[in-house]
A and B are shown apart, each in its own frame.
Chain A
Amino acid sequence: MLTVKNVNTFYGQLHALKNVSLHLKKGEIVTLIGANGAGKSTLINTISGLTPPRTGSILLDGFAIEKLPPHRIVELGISQVPEGRQIFNTLSVKENLELGAFLYLRKKGGRRLYEEMVEKIFHLFPVLRERCHQPAGTLSGGEQQMLAIGRALMARPQILLLDEPSMGLAPLIVKEIFSVIHALARQGGTTILLVEQNAKAALRIADRGYVLETGKVIMEGEALELMENKEVKRAYLGRDRKDIWER
């Protein structure tokens, strides 16, 4: 449903994405792995319209979206959970969720849909209900991540882009968040593009993966294949070189 074709993105002079192509099928979990600075976040931001590509095309169900501003792309059903969570610190948890629903809350009759969605989010992350009226900045890191995901889901996206959802979180919370992501795709039919440093955890729940290096896709394939790939194992799964090459 989403096709990225030969995209080139620049930061000033810096060529951050070099002829990157990728596609997502409905209901799939696809992960992007790669080292810091490989261009994973740039790719996600390019899809979201924050760093529009200089050349190349991005098609959502055949419709070109690469020139649209971020808010239009959200309207078309692609939401991003940004790196570092980027919640609205001084606003309450509830207000953060309301703003996730901005697109339909501003319309007449949007309130009912909002109530329905907010219940779903509270069901997914019960802790957010307890924290409802607290300023979002007072939440713990894990709760903030849940809020960031909840806010993105409030927009009722078909495609959810997640940028490093496990960053800086305790293993137990990471596990919880990953199981929610998994359930979103498997039960909710949401298509997911997951950027992760934690390649092992990401490949475990993903259907397919892409490996990025210095702005280029150097490998792509089924998650299982990638997990078994020697190069991937060595570079991203943290296996010792010895284990793999000198067995």
Chain B
Amino acid sequence: MESSAQIFQYILSGLANGSIYGIIGFGFAIIFNATGIINFAQGEFVMLGGMVTVFLLSLLQWPLVYCILLAILLTLIVGIIFERLAVNPLKDASPITIVIITIGASIFIRGIAMLVWGKDTYPLPSFSGDTAINLGGATIMPQHLWILGLTCIIIILNRLFFYHTIYGKAMRACSVNPKAAGLAGINVRAMVLISFAISSALGALAGIIIAPLTLTSYDVGIMLGLKGFCAAIIGGMGSGMGAVLGGFVLGILESLGAGLISAGYKDAIAFIVLLAILFFRPGGLLGRSGIERV
């Protein structure tokens, strides 16, 4: 019989992992909202965040925080280049074509990363040490607190951006009705570019804050990207808050499953949850029914 402290422990680490999935899912949702595209290269932004930070840290020997900011900026630039080269030139391509292009781009980015950094895994130091904190019988790493705190900040910032700035509102307008948005004087293509910039930066941040816990390598983007995708689907594709909620649900179930059943099933659980949601509630937890995107 597992003790309640242990369950609490699983939930805590589930929340932390779930935050990461949620942030990545948020990135999926933002691009999906602006363009209707599911960007399967999202995971590579996550990988780039972690790997570039590790690389900058050893190259420049700067304090961690500068390396992190620079890594986010560089990933954001990659996101913008990606949009300009791979997405923007397409006019009226079918969604399936675009999805295949994003998969192609993700393989390309991963390949480059492997050539540059090799197949090794790299550690990233924790932001504020590795002394575990005792919390009601469970232990929590300072890094977990960073993850939870930054997730809250991201949620608040996104809320402010999308509901209280004219550009955020314009992006929501593009997702509801791109044609009408153009007629209101909104440059829809510029909004698409901004959506790629925001998602790549979010992806990078997710990759950076989880790296101290899990190590990072050229191929972490595959699994993290898929988990983020699951989070977005569970929450209802196109709903940013839904993605974060989906991430929490996914993270907690995964961690409980791994703890109570077997750690070997950790990844399987994510996909079982995904399938269950698609069977029973295809619109996601917060999504509207049907295929209308919001």
Give the nearest-CB partner of B166 in chain A: A105
Contact A88 B177 (CB under 8 A): yes
Please report the total number of B residues contacting A with Cβ < 8 Å: 20
Stretch from B44-52, B106-114, B180-188, B216-224 at the A interface:
B180-188
SS of B interface (majority): helix
A69-B187, A98-B166 as given contacts; A91 in contact with B176, CB under 8 Å: yes
Per the bound structure, the CA–CA distance linking A28 and B92 in Å amounts to 36
Contact count band on A = 20 to 34
Contact B169 A106 (CB under 8 A): no
B179 close to chain A: CB less than 8 A? yes
B250 close to chain A: CB less than 8 A? no
B173 close to chain A: CB less than 8 A? yes
Measured between C-beta atoms, what is the minimum distance from A211 to chain B in Å?
Answer: 25
A91 in complex: contacting residue of B173, B186, B187, CB < 8 Å: B173
Contact B177 A80 (CB under 8 A): no
Contact B183 A88 (CB under 8 A): no
A215 close to chain B: CB less than 8 A? no
Chain B 174-205 interface mask (CB, 8 Å, partner A; 1/0): 00110111111111110000000000000000
Give the nearest-CB partner of B288 in chain A: A90
Give the nearest-CB partner of A114 in chain B: B166
B residues near A102, Cβ cutoff 8 Å? 166, 170, 184-186
- Report the number of A-B residue pairs with Cβ-Cβ less than 8 Å: 74
Contact A106 B183 (CB under 8 A): no
B161 close to chain A: CB less than 8 A? no
B167 close to chain A: CB less than 8 A? yes
Please provide the chain B residues from 31 to 57 with a CB less than 8 Å away from any CB of chain A in the complex.
none
Give the nearest-CB partner of B163 in chain A: A95
A99 in complex: contacting residue of B173, B179, B187, B189, CB < 8 Å: B173
Which residue, A69, A90, A151, has most C-beta atoms of chain B within 10 A? A90
A70 in complex: contacting residue of B170, B173, B183, CB < 8 Å: B183
A88-B173, A155-B185 given; 9 more Cβ-contact pairs under 8 Å: A71-B185, A74-B183, A74-B184, A74-B185, A88-B172, A90-B172, A91-B169, A99-B184, A106-B166
Q: What are 20 of the A-B contact pairs (CB < 8 Å)?
A: A50-B179, A50-B182, A71-B187, A74-B185, A75-B185, A86-B180, A86-B183, A88-B176, A88-B181, A89-B176, A95-B169, A98-B166, A99-B169, A99-B181, A99-B184, A102-B185, A105-B166, A106-B167, A152-B183, A152-B184
